[in-house]
């Protein structure tokens, strides 16, 4: 194991089941890889539309693949989950404001982890609501908060500063961009609005977004940064860190390296 301390930021939303998988793996590998894990609760819908992406539900084939993929993936990761009967793209707004309020309240990292996990469980394991105050209260109580603390956080979650904070963290994820030099093209490259952004070969275009969904993971080590999208990039993350990946459950290695 490398002795250098690594920084990892996880941008996530509890409406994203793959964010849950990445969350659990990073928590399990925190001491194994010697990483400083920073949780960045954000709003997936804001990222999807801010990046020009589309929700999974907008593509029936993609949605059906996700349903079958989650069954096998959740078994492999050791995180039992079941697809909810319905998924609304706005399901997580109140929940993520609630989680953001916990983070801003200065609660310890363990509390933020426990509350996030309880909300994931409600949505993806027991198929319960995560939009109503009573549902958020139940998750907070199960995570170890007192009734008074939950009430205080619920009130805070409705405030403008918390709404602004969730928006700013979501925008922070969208600020990660990469500049790429394009080889000669025989046709103009168009942006989402339909306008030509490259009118002739050899033009260097403006930076492209690197975040278009969650989980979005930003890794830093020895002054170098690398971003990863999805819950299936841990082998590459380990390579970047100079560490070993032994499967999603390091206490039960599935791969010998």
Count how many domains the chain has. Answer: 1
Does residue 175 register a pLDDT over 60?
yes
* Residue 37, domain member (yes or no): yes
Q: Quick check: 32 pLDDT over 80?
A: yes
Q: Given pLDDT bands bounded at 50, 70 and 90, which one contains residue 90? A: low
Tokens 């599935």 belong to which residue? 254
The answer to whether residue 205 is domain-embedded is no
Rounded CA separation 9/41 (Å): 10
User: Looking at 29-38, 46-55, 156-165, 176-185, which range is the least confident one?
Assistant: 176-185
Name the burial class of residue 102, with classes exposed (0-12), middle (13-18) and buried (19+) by CB atoms within 10 angstroms of its CB: buried
Q: Alpha-carbon Rg of the chain, whole angstroms?
A: 19
Residue 47 belongs to some domain of the structure: yes
Which pLDDT band holds residue 257 (cuts at 50, 70, 90)?
very low
CATH number of the domain enclosing 235: 3.40.30.10
Average pLDDT for the chain: 84
Task: Flag whether 203 is in a domain.
Answer: no
Number of C-alpha atoms within 13 angstroms, CB side, residue 40?
Answer: 23
Give the per-residue pLDDT at 231.
93
In a domain, 131, yes or no: yes
How much of the chain exceeds pLDDT 70, in percent? 79
Residue 174 has pLDDT above 60, yes or no: yes
Stretch (H or E) spanning 197: strand 196-198
Determine the pLDDT at residue 53.
Answer: 80
Confidence of residue 85 (pLDDT cuts 50, 70, 90): low
Better-scored residue on pLDDT, 210 or 149 = 149
Spatial separation of the C-alpha atoms in residues 38 and 34, rounded to whole Å: 13
pTM of the model: 0.84
pLDDT of residue 118: 98
Sorting pLDDT into bands at 50, 70 and 90, what band is 130?
Answer: very high
* 78 located within any domain: yes
Domain of residue 44, residue span: 6-176+211-241
Give residue 152's pLDDT: 97
* pLDDT score of 254: 62
- What is the pLDDT averaged over residues 107-131? 92
In-domain check, residue 226: yes
Active site residues: 16
Per-residue pLDDT tens digits for 194-238: 555 445 454 555 566 677 789 999 999 888 889 999 999 999 999
Does 198 map to a domain?
no
For residue 12, the model assigns a pLDDT of 97
């Amino acid at each position: 194991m490398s002795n250098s301390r690594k920084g990892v930021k996880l941008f996530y939303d509890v409406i994203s089941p793959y964010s849950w998988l990445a969350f659990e793996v990073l928590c399990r590998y925190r001491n194994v890889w010697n990483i400083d894990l920073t949780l960045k609760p954000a709003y997936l819908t804001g990222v999807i539309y801010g990046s020009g992406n589309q929700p999974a539900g907008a593509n029936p084939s993609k949605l059906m693949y996700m349903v079958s993929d989650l069954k096998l993936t959740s078994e492999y990761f050791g995180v039992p989950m079941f697809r909810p009967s319905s998924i609304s793209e706005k399901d997580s707004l109140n929940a993520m404001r609630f989680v953001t309020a916990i983070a801003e309240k200065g609660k310890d990292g363990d509390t933020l982890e426990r509350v996030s996990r309880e909300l994931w469980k409600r949505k993806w394991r027991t198929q319960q609501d995560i939009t109503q105050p009573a549902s958020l209260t139940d998750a907070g109580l199960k995570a170890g908060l007192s009734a008074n603390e939950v009430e205080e956080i619920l009130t805070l979650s409705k405030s403008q500063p918390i709404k602004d904070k969730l928006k700013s963290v979501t925008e922070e994820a969208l600020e990660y961009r990469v500049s790429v030099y394009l080889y000669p093209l025989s046709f103009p490259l168009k942006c989402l609005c339909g306008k030509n952004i490259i009118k002739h070969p050899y033009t260097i275009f403006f930076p492209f977004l690197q975040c278009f969904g969650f989980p979005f993971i930003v890794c830093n080590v020895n002054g170098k940064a690398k971003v990863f999208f999805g819950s299936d990039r841990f082998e590459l993350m380990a390579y970047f860190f100079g560490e070993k990946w032994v499967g999603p459950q390091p206490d039960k290695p599935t791969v010998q390296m």
